Amino acid sequence: MMLRVGYRQSKSWHKIITVLLIASAFIICLSCEKKSPPETRDKFYNPDNDSLINIDPRLIGYYEDEPLPKPEGEVNALHIDLHDRVYIGSGKALFIVDTLGTHLNAVALDDTVRSITTHENGDIYIASQKRISVLDSGGIKKQSWEMDNERTFFTSVAVDGNNVFAADAGERIILRFDTTGTLINRIGDKDSTKDISGFVIPSANFGLAIGRDGSLWAANTGRHKLQNFRTNGELISEWGEAGAQTDAFCGCCNPVSFTLIGDGSFVTGEKGFSRVKIYNQAGKFVTVVAPPSVFLGPKAIAALAADSHGTIYIADAYEKTIRRFKRKQD
């Protein structure tokens, strides 16, 4: 009897120690988010945090290729259309290049670009803090609509058919418009009768993407989940968990950016310990694209995109460039 009780106590202590170790790593991740390079980089990107920064090479399935040539300036938004044209938001300007970096177009805008997407008809949709703007394929403005709400802070826009979805980080809600700017419905309001817990958005990172079936995916960053909704707001599914381990989402609020690739897999980007990973359609971890060791600091990942060949593009806020990662050959 005594041996069995001792065994149970040992197991209990083992569980407690395990939880404390995970919690400690989580706190380290959280503290890193609040620092900025280069002065503070060495304080956190150091051997004490080696297991979080230098990920096991066997888990890394991509290598870095040459960066995409681009005009000088900050990079705060990124999108690649069905024809592999690359759209780069840089302050109050939109640059369009091909995958070799060849200049195609440049458009001056009225507001800082927060997000870019394109419609199948070629129209370009741009989200700024309070405005959604629509340009034709040549960059000529067609229309725009603006929210008369002090709290509104658009961080992402996604388009499918006649639906335009805008993520409002200020109001912690997704707004569904038609292509004329008429509001149709809200998505994500807390509703316990429908198992919708509501969005927890601690910072201005609130991403959207359209699934292969036309449904909407959204990053509920404070809950460390990606959630799938029908256009009417019905929650279909969700996945993701908090933690410092490689297959989880670290810090207070991740993923800060995500995109879908051709086979329906997810590419996710995190802050805290900047890292980019791939999960399959069911949300199971597959591989690492870019580990923390390749970035200058905790908030490197401004945006993500992928071309038709599966190359991953990362808008690096510190290096102010578009970095490219390709799949390693088996």
CATH code of 2-327, in short, is 2.120.10.30
pLDDT at position 231 over 60: yes
If one counts every other C-beta atom within 10 angstroms of the C-beta of residue 38, the result is 9
Tens digit of each residue's pLDDT (9 = 90 or more) over 126-179: 999 999 999 999 999 999 999 999 999 999 999 999 999 999 999 999 999 999
Q: For 18-27, 217-226, 310-319, which range has the lowest pLDDT when averaged over its residues? A: 18-27
Q: What is the C-alpha separation between 43 and 22, in angstroms, rounded?
A: 20
Residue type, 242: A
Q: What is the C-alpha separation between 36 and 274, in angstroms, rounded?
A: 12
pTM of the model: 0.88
Coil, strand, or helix at residue 52?
Answer: helix
Cα 135–chain centre separation: 24
Predicted pLDDT of residue 50: 73
Predicted pLDDT of residue 43: 54
- Written as six digits, the tokens of 237 are 């599914």
List, in sequence order, every residue forming a beta bridge with 157; answer none if it has no partner: 166
